[in-house]
Structure 1
Amino acid sequence: MRTLLITGPGGAGRTTIAAATALTAAREGTRTLLLGTDPTDTLGAALGTPVTGPAPTPVAPDLTVWRPDPATGFRAGLTALQDRATTALDLLGAARLDPEELTPLPGAAELALLRALRDAALADDAHELVVVDLPPSPGALALLSLPGELRRYLRRLLPPERQAARALRPVLGRLAGVPMPAEALYEAAARWDLELAATEAVVADHDTVVRLVAEPSPAGLDAVRATTLGLALHGLRTDVLVANRVFPEPTADTRLAGVVAQQRKAVDEWRESYDVRTVDHLGRDPRGTDDLAALAVPAVNTRQRTATVEWPVVDRIAEDGVLVWHIPLPGAVREDLDLIRRGDELVVTAGQFRRIVPLPSGLRRCTVSGAGLRDGELRIRFAPDPGLWPAGR
């Protein structure tokens, strides 16, 4: 199964392109699932068919659309959590919340989408392609990094190694006179970790790529540059940049001449770094499958695999006595970069984006000796720690 994540700056026609891409793939005979998160059902408006509901909605041959309901999953998850934490709630004298009074908290829609994406990947041969209409780029990057961040928080709060002492918890509970964390809590944490890992694996899979949608303009140039940096920091791949709502040339309307020239300049600049496909402006907001079919969106090759983004570690011990970690960060500015080594993790900040990454095993036995940005690539130098490095290496 191939997964296509579509994002871009807000207002660039991201949802319309996602719907048109899914419809085009379905009409070519590819079994396609289109996922969305917008609470106002913009996907349904673009397709001309409401897609709100608890289950996926077939809207055309080989095309199913689903906008997961965050309320259902939120209520079910919190009810299950209350059931597992009954002992602690009773100890505190806390009153349980009824499912009918629960309102989804911020982030519930994102979690519902990630769960749907994971379930689609686990479904055997149900779909050949999943197209995901992500939020605008800053929110999309936060959403895609959410599984990894939640796993890190979960392991910090309930370290797996502490489960080795679970046989002692009843004894400790009697000695202390208070209930100890129940076995069910650790079992739930392990289950959540597996579910988050499965979602993380879908995002990191070599058959998952990101497609950017932006209007060719000065603001679009800035937004795409920032988004590309954020994607690179998270190791995500971009297959195509869709320049949307492009006015045809030449135009008889002299009032549009300046806009056309501006768009041409932006597209030419993008073509220096991206595989750019242009989608013409229809002269109206696309509504319904006929309008979507009129948009010349780029096709999706469900059989072609995209090369993974590598962060190689280069062994230069023989020449310079160091190992060098190469991290591609196109568009990064030296003044906006920051690095912090914290235990076996490296905190990398690039502009408005930040990522905490575990160090490869060899680099954990080293100290950071320097870093530099060169040709859109961050190169971090690690010197072996004599106390940890294997003798004779």
Structure 2
Amino acid sequence: MAPPPAARVLFVTGPGGAGTSTVAAATASSAARAGERPVLLLAPPRAAAPPFPATSPLEPGLHHSRVDPAGRFRAGALAAQRLAAPALDALGAVPFDGEELTELPGAHAAALLSALRAAAAGPWGLVVADLPPVTEAVRLLALPAQLRRYLRRLLPAERLAARALRPLLGRLAGVPLPDEGLFAAADRLDAALAGLQELIEGPAAAVRLVLDPAPGPAAEARAARAGLALHGVALESVVANRLLPATSPDPWLAALAERQREALAAFAEAAGLAGEAVHRVPHLGREPAHPAEPDVPPPGTWPAPRPAPPPEPGEAGLLVWRLPLPGAVREDLELIRRGGELLVRVGPFRRMLPLPAALRRCAVAGAAFEPGEDGAHRARLAVRFAPDPARWP
């Protein structure tokens, strides 16, 4: 188990164009004024520079770091090339120069996760990470757990036994075994991914969701809220950005302000948010000139992680597994049982959930979506399981 990070981590994301970079910088600035030691981690490529003029001074004690995916990719590719030099020489390969290497798809995600891990282990009390747009951000936060699952399928835990028997089996003709270096590399990769997964899903991390209230972005943010819950990532608060005044004498602006309020109210109800979890930021009528200008509070009470609850006894001897999915709607849900796992899809997000031990000996008997109306509870998916007599003593 990786040691817990030294810093709290606040991921800031939202639909494209919602002002996420501005809110991330304002959040880090307000945290610095509140006495924390924050660092602002800027995501590529849209945040190649801080979201304020270069001449704008940052708050005392506020630092920022830019992620460099191109540089990290070149460094990693050249290091791998040096390690494989004997084999490449034997094949007559011509090695690459650093100047001719350009990053491949996925390099941005790898660079951002690497920078996040380094920042969380650094001297900061708070890491404010400006993430890509919200759908991409949820997939980014889910990536370490997904890669660990793939790694376990390709090189399962039984590989340890194979490593112990490798000297003996290697002398038997026709028994191909992976090279020892593959096992060592897999172990290092799994340890790194485990640390990232613990950081993202653990008690030190949460998401601040930025919303420019309008029907389209609000629907995207609602689906992302469900995706965060599906992947076990806590939500710290929502920032409703660029709100227009309700008392504008201009009828067009007044009507637009009313649509903003309606979209925000519908989102808060669907996402199961209390009023104190929504920060309202008025429209300045121009672009902010300094991180302190948007009135954004520092991170508040850190929400506790919400792991999937254990199965509950249901009617007719069934077991019910209720999965909290605030923000989900019935039409976005899909459920498939595959062996000891449950594939759950919520809109554009999918996750393979390992079943609790008791449910692995059961068959799926049905499922129901509980929307959580009238404030009774947040939306959740209730999956019913019937014990399989052949698998129970």
TM-score range, shorter chain: 0.7 to 0.9
- Aligned residue for 2:278? 276
C-alpha separation in 2, matches of 1:159 and 1:49: 53
Q: 2:36 aligns with which of 30, 33, 37?
A: 30
- Aligned residue for 2:376? none
Deviations 1:104-145 (A, max 9, x none): 11111111111122222233xx11111111111110011011
Query: What are the within-5 Å matches in structure 2 for residues 106-185 of structure 1?
Result: 106-123=105-122, 126-166=123-163, 168-169=165-166, 181-185=178-182
| Matched residue SS, 2:253 | helix
Deviations 1:59-79 (A, max 9, x none): 542211112211232233334
Q: 1:339 aligns with which of 332, 335, 341?
A: 335
Change (3 A) 1:358 1:84: farther
- Number of aligned residues: 375
C-alpha separation in 2, matches of 1:242 and 1:250: 21
C-alpha separation in 2, matches of 1:173 and 1:78: 31
Superposed displacement of residue 361, structure 1? 2.2
Change (3 A) 1:268 1:177: closer
Change (3 A) 1:24 1:167: same
TM-score by length of 1: 0.86
Does the aligned pair in 1 maintain the 2:25–2:40 contact within 8 Å? Answer: yes
1:78 has 2:77 as partner: yes
- Aligned residue for 2:381? 378
C-alpha separation in 1, matches of 2:153 and 2:81: 21
Does the aligned pair in 1 maintain the 2:218–2:264 contact within 8 Å? Answer: no
- Aligned residue for 2:374? none
C-alpha separation in 2, matches of 1:337 and 1:307: 25
Does the aligned pair in 2 maintain the 1:340–1:346 contact within 8 Å? Answer: yes
C-alpha separation in 2, matches of 1:226 and 1:237: 15
C-alpha separation in 2, matches of 1:278 and 1:82: 51
- Aligned residue for 2:10? 4
C-alpha separation in 2, matches of 1:93 and 1:367: 56
| Matched residue SS, 2:162 | helix
TM-score by length of 2: 0.86
Does the aligned pair in 2 maintain the 1:88–1:179 contact within 8 Å? Answer: no
1:365 has 2:361 as partner: yes
Q: Where does structure 2 lack aligned partners over 5 or more consecutive residues?
A: 1-6, 372-378
Query: What are the within-5 Å matches in structure 2 for residues 180-329 of structure 1?
Result: 181-272=178-269, 273-274=272-273, 275-287=277-289, 289=290, 292-301=291-300, 304-316=301-313, 320-329=316-325
Superposed displacement of residue 186, structure 1? 1.1
Deviations 1:193-225 (A, max 9, x none): 000110011110123111111111222321222
Q: Where does structure 1 lack aligned partners over 5 or more consecutive residues?
A: 51-57
C-alpha separation in 1, matches of 2:137 and 2:230: 13
C-alpha separation in 2, matches of 1:94 and 1:178: 30
Superposed displacement of residue 305, structure 1? 3.4
Superposed displacement of residue 42, structure 1? 5.1
C-alpha separation in 2, matches of 1:384 and 1:77: 50
Report % sequence identity. 51
Does the aligned pair in 1 maintain the 2:44–2:67 contact within 8 Å? Answer: no
When the two chains are superposed, the root-mean-square deviation of aligned CA atoms in Å is 2.7
Change (3 A) 1:87 1:172: farther
